[in-house]
Amino acid sequence: MINQFEINNYVKKQLDIYLVEKSLTLRQAMDDETTSKEVAAILHAGFPKMVQKIYSLAKFETFFWEKRDLLHEHLKNRLEALERAAAKKAK
């Protein structure tokens, strides 16, 4: 499911702000059930509307919590790719 969407710059920025405000790393946020749900909500808000309808927020929060170990590395790589693309574009 996670391959069905792209993390756009707006969602990345929202996630970065959230992590800074909470003084957490992505791993730490994903390892706590409460903050994991909040991270899932940030990502879910960036889904296309059709995907949001297919995968409700509650369903995505459960998926995100249960698959956090698998998803962490995947999300980390996607976010780093966005950073590299932004840096390349800035040059």
What are the tokens at 65? 């919590």
Total number of domains in the chain:
1
Show the domain range for 58: 2-90
CB 47 within 8 A of CB 39: no
What is the value of pTM for the model shown?
Answer: 0.84
pLDDT per residue over 31-83, tens digit each? 999 999 999 999 999 988 888 888 899 999 999 999 998 888 888 888 888 88
